[in-house]
């Protein structure tokens, strides 16, 4: 098929990605859902057989019902211009066959992990009454995340029915074929379990257990030869793992695992410490009646019993040669006695022979007289109404015993399971125990009073419905169950019961605006409702008077209920100004001498008045003849000033005193 071809105006072919004797597989794009899909297109020779097409559609549609993470999903089944196709999930990865070839063989741990996924998928199919019939590594895909996905569920049945009907041949991958499939017998769920065992063998050893020049030769080995021992190929494989495979591949279906559940349980424990020294499992011998027809043989009479011989003329008869001489009278009497004895001896021998004959006749006929016909228990009883199942079994001349059991997953009056299971051969007259659902098990209603609504609804998740109504009350905390119907202890069936709950709801109030209210006004407002708690705090505020509200939570207009805490922050008045500390610093004070002093000297004194000296405190007293700078210590309080007083030749200088404010002194720190 060419690329870019569209099928039913929905699936655009991109490229071929696989194929086989039945179909070709293409990667395509679903133009409606914008996703990649795999399209399996049947080959032309299958498209001409109306009976095959009918079976193919039926089985493919049945397989679309399967939904499991380890099963390749079937999205669509259709036909266009006599081309029949299946649209499947596209799995990006490789087949398990390619994976085994690539690795040579798979480790025990990885084999167990992959097998658990495959068995889980087969279990889901069996629960939906679908037998795969063609489990092989070619039909198992491993995606890029290592997830195993089984494909082609139900398709093998359509092909095998069509082929066997017309050619009486066995279809399928002969290396994985169960003995009952190889001899053309009834295919059951256990046929899939056999193929799973062969698959496990191949993963661990890297090769299939039976090979031959022809498919028939391989099929005969499945029927007649015991499975080669896995530990002879790899002694490191645990005995418990080999035992698992030996049970799965038993020739007799009755000796295999009963179900996929039993198979999974055994596989899950094969590496447990307590199974480390497990004894080898008994290997069953093939049943000759099952594996081959008995040839017809001629039966010859014995030459040693009661024979009469005829001799030729002239032949010497030494033992029987008679003498011609006369016999005396007394000897004649003796001869009479001997003849009488011989008569009775012959009579006794004839009696013994007669008895032996009777015994032989009895041995020949009695088994057929005692033989009881066998019938096969149907595989489709599970889910069937009991009356129909009873009729089916009694029509097969089987006895039926009913066993009732509560089951939430099976409709009341329908079959949950039966013993012996479907597909097993039993004698006519065998009693079949049919387990029938009584529906959901009645339970006592829980006491939900006092529980929160969420807790109650969690306990009621399996009930038909939960109807909740609210009632204002101050006796319970908010959202608490205060009434229920049905009452505690009443017998109910959850899926048939609607539960009515009455849940507490505290009275509601609309929060007022408390801004600028006094404590007294706030307390008066909530005094009538002692279930609302006032939580107080204080903070400075530049404009709100001390003792009045500056903020609240919840805010005004908010709907509140009883037992709510209201937070109120009161003003402490404006924040006080920060008190400044006195400043102490050394002020550089420069005294300049006139330029025309002719090297004359001047006697100067410098005094200070400040916070520490309210009267002038002399700091400098000396003669100078040139300009000079003095460091004058001074301490000034906030808002005050300090003064430097200069005396020259005993007189206060005309520009003195020199003032230094608090702010000016800060720059000398």
Residue 435: strand, helix, or coil = strand
> How would DSSP label each residue in 30-49?
ETTTTEEEEEEEE-HHHHT-
> How would DSSP label each residue in 591-657?
E---TT-TT--EEEEEEEESSS-SS-EEEEEEEESS-EEEEEEEEE-TT-EEEEEEEETTEE-TTPP
Alpha-carbon separation of residue 125 from 68, 131, 295 (angstroms): 9, 7, 41
Residues in CB range of 199: below 8 A, 6 or more apart: 96, 115, 118, 135, 136, 137, 140, 176
Largest Cα–Cα distance in the chain? 215
Residue 340: strand, helix, or coil = helix
Measured at the CA of 402, the angle between CA 399 and CA 405, to 5 degrees, comes to 155
**Nearest Cα to 413, choosing from 433, 432, 436, 383?**
436
**Nearest Cα to 135, choosing from 113, 111, 157?**
157
134 is known as an active-site residue:
yes
Q: Are 574 and 594 in contact (CB under 8 A)?
A: no
Q: Are 648 and 628 in contact (CB under 8 A)?
A: no
> What's the CA gap between 439 and 626, in Å, rounded?
122
Q: Are 657 and 609 in contact (CB under 8 A)?
A: yes
The backbone region for 52, taken as left when phi is positive above 0, alpha when psi lies in -120 to 50, beta otherwise, is: alpha
- 373 phi and psi angles, rounded to 5 deg: -60, 150
Q: Give the active site residue among 34, 134, 373, 447.
A: 134
The backbone region for 454, taken as left when phi is positive above 0, alpha when psi lies in -120 to 50, beta otherwise, is: alpha
> What's the CA gap between 569 and 515, in Å, rounded?
9
Burial (Cβ within 10 Å: 0-12, 13-18, ≥19) of residue 400: middle
Q: Are 382 and 422 in contact (CB under 8 A)?
A: yes
Q: Are 126 and 259 in contact (CB under 8 A)?
A: yes
> What's the CA gap between 254 and 258, in Å, rounded?
7
> What's the CA gap between 226 and 141, in Å, rounded?
29
Q: Which helix (H) or strand (E) is 552 found in, with range?
A: strand 549-553
**Nearest Cα to 566, choosing from 556, 580, 579?**
556
DSSP designation for 499: E
**Nearest Cα to 177, choosing from 148, 219, 140, 213?**
219
> What's the CA gap between 445 and 390, in Å, rounded?
35
> What's the CA gap between 585 and 53, in Å, rounded?
111
Q: Is 322 marked within a binding site?
A: no
According to DSSP, the β-strands at 415-419 and 431-437 are antiparallel
> What's the CA gap between 426 and 408, in Å, rounded?
31
Residues serving a catalytic function are 134
Bind-site residues for ATP: 40
Bind-site residues: 40
């Amino acid at each position: 098929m060419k690329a870019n071809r569209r099928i039913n105006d929905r699936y655009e072919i991109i490229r071929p990605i696989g194929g086989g004797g039945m179909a070709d597989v293409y990667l395509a794009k679903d133009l409606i859902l914008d996703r990649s899909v795999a399209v399996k297109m049947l080959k032309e020779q299958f498209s001409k057989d109306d009976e095959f097409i009918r079976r193919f559609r039926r089985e493919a549609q049945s397989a679309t019902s399967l939904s499991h993470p380890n099963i390749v999903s079937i999205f669509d089944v259709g036909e266009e211009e006599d081309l029949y196709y299946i649209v499947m999930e596209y799995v990006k990865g490789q087949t398990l066959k390619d994976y085994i070839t690539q690795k040579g063989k798979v480790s025990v741990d990885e084999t167990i992990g992959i097998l658990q996924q495959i068995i889980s998928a087969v279990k889901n199919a069996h629960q939906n009454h679908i037998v795969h019939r063609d489990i092989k590594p070619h039909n198992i895909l491993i995606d890029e995340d290592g997830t195993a996905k089984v494909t082609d569920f139900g398709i093998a049945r359509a092909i095998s029915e069509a082929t066997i009907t017309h050619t009486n041949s066995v279809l399928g991958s002969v290396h994985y074929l169960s003995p009952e499939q190889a001899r053309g017998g009834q295919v059951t769920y256990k046929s899939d379990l056999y193929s799973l065992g062969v698959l496990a063998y191949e993963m661990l050893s890297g090769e299939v257990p039976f090979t031959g020049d022809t498919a028939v030769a391989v099929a005969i080995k499945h029927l007649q030869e015991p499975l080669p021992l896995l530990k002879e190929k790899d002694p490191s494989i645990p005995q418990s793992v080999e035992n698992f495979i030996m049970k799965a591949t038993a020739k007799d279906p009755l000796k295999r695992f009963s179900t996929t559940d039993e198979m999974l349980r055994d596989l899950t424990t094969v590496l447990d410490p307590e199974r480390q020294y497990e004894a080898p499992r008994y290997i069953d011998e093939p049943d000759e009646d099952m594996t081959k027809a008995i040839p017809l043989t001629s039966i010859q009479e014995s030459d040693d019993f009661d024979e009469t011989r005829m001799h030729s003329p002239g032949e010497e008869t030494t033992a029987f040669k008679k003498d011609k001489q006369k016999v005396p009278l007394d000897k004649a009497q003796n001869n009479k006695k001997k003849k009488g004895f011989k008569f009775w001896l012959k009579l006794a021998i004839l009696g013994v022979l007669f008895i032996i004959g009777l015994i032989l006749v009895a041995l020949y006929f009695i088994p057929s007289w005692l033989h009881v016909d066998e019938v096969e228990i149907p595989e489709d009883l599970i889910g069937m109404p009991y009356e129909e199942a009873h009729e089916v079994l009694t029509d097969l001349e089987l006895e039926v015993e009913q066993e009732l059991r509560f089951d939430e997953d099976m409709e009341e009056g329908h079959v949950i399971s039966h013993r012996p299971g479907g597909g097993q051969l039993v004698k006519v007259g065998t009693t079949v125990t049919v387990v029938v659902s009584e529906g959901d098990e009645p339970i006592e209603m829980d006491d939900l009073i006092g529980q929160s609504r969420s807790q109650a609804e969690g306990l009621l998740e399996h009930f038909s419905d939960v109807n909740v109504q609210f009632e204002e009350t101050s006796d319970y905390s908010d959202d608490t169950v205060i009434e229920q119907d049905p009452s505690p202890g009443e017998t109910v069936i959850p899926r048939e019961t609607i539960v009515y709950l009455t849940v507490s709801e505290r009275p509601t109030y609309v929060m007022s605006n408390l801004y600028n209210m006094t404590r007294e006004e706030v307390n008066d407002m909530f005094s009538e409702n002692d279930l609302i708690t006032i939580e107080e705090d204080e903070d400075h505020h530049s404009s709100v008077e001390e003792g009045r509200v500056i903020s609240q939570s919840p805010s005004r207009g908010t709907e509140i209920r009883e037992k709510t805490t209201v937070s109120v922050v009161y003003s402490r008045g404006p924040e006080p100004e920060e008190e400044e500390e006195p400043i102490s610093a050394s002020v550089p004070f420069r005294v300049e001498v006139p330029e025309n002093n002719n090297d004359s000297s001047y006697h100067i004194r410098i005094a200070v008045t400040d916070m520490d000296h309210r009267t002038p405190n002399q700091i400098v007293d000396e003669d100078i003849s040139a300009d000079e700078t003095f460091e004058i210590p001074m301490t000034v309080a906030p808002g005050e000033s300090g003064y430097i007083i200069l005396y020259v030749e005993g007189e206060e200088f005309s520009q003195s005193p020199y003032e230094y404010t608090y702010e000016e002194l800060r720059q000398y720190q």
